[in-house]
Amino acid sequence: MKYIIIGVIAIVIILIFFNQLGGKKGNNPSSQNTNSFETKINTVEQEKSTLGTLKKIKSEDYNRFILTKSTTESYILKGIKEYGELSGNEEYKIYNFGIAEYGDWKIIKVDQSISFYVYHNLVGWLSGYEENTAIPELSIGFSKNKTDTQEDYLFFLDPKNEYGDTQIGTFRNGKSFSIYLPEAYEEYGNLTVKKEIQVSMKENVDYISEQGFSISDIESLKYTEHKIKMNE
């Protein structure tokens, strides 16, 4: 009888041991690696969402404009000229900038050969590069695609960015984007479509219209050409 009791106790101990071993299955190296792998996947997906999708912009596909409100032609010309001198290089090119008046608006047509970097930075530069009573009330970029209106896009400095180095905007097709200006020097720019950015083309076009300018008239305006030297 004594041996039977000892045998039963031994069996119970063995069963308890295997039961505990099975309960710890989730802590084995295989499951830890799986959890780690899943975490990495989730992290990568979150990073992709934050980083967005880079979209190439070919300047030759667009007629590019800068919409400025409540400013003067002399302020615009002076601003573009001074921006063109920033590099300090001796080599330079002559670019054509057209300026048209539309009520309280001055619309600038940008030279076809101006780079993505210079065009987008000029929009920010003209919005207030120095203390001046002629600083525009609004400075907005508008690029009109030559073949596909859904690829038209509008942009402006991000009002929530205190450094003034980031622009946000939208395509007519509804996709919104951001541009980090210091890194916009690549040939096709660094315009990045992001789901978390929401800018409405319709709301902004309607607002501009309320302020006295109809974007639909932009290509029919009479532009006075100005040749401006810009250092390379």
Query: By the 8 A CB rule, do 90 and 137 touch?
Result: no
What average pLDDT score do residues 217-231 get?
A: 97
Q: What is the pLDDT of residue 50?
A: 61
pLDDT at 78 over 60: yes
- CA distances to 29, 147, 209 from 20, in Å: 17, 70, 73
Q: What is the pLDDT of residues 146-165, one digit of tens each?
A: 999 999 999 999 999 999 99
CA angle 149, 155, 159 (to 5 degrees): 155
* pLDDT tens per residue across span 35-52: 333 333 333 333 444 689
pLDDT of residue 24: 38
Structure confidence at residue 31 (pLDDT): 35
Could you give the residue ranges of the DSSP H alpha helices within the chain? 2-23, 29-51, 73-84, 116-126, 201-210
The DSSP string of 124-187 is: HHHTTSS--TT--SEEEEEEEESS-GGG-EEEEE-TT-TTS-EEEEEETTS-EEEEEGGG--ST
> Residue 75 corresponds to which tokens in the numbers above?
């302020």
Predicted local distance difference test score (pLDDT) of residue 11: 43
pLDDT given at position 35: 38
pLDDT higher than 70, residue 14: no
- Res. 26: pLDDT tops 90: no
Q: What is the pLDDT of residue 21?
A: 40
Q: Mean pLDDT across the stretch 90-108?
A: 96
Residues 162-198 have pLDDT tens digits of 999 999 999 999 999 999 999 999 999 999 999 999 9
Which pLDDT score, from 0 to 100, does residue 145 have? 98
pLDDT of residue 4: 41
Would you say the C-alpha torsion 7, 9, 10, 12 has a positive or negative sign?
positive
So where are the chain's domains?
2-51, 54-231
Kindly tell me if the per-residue pLDDT of 99 is higher than 60.
yes
pTM to 2 decimal places: 0.79
Decide which of 208 and 10 is more confident. 208
109 burial level (CB within 10 Å; 0-12, 13-18, 19+): buried
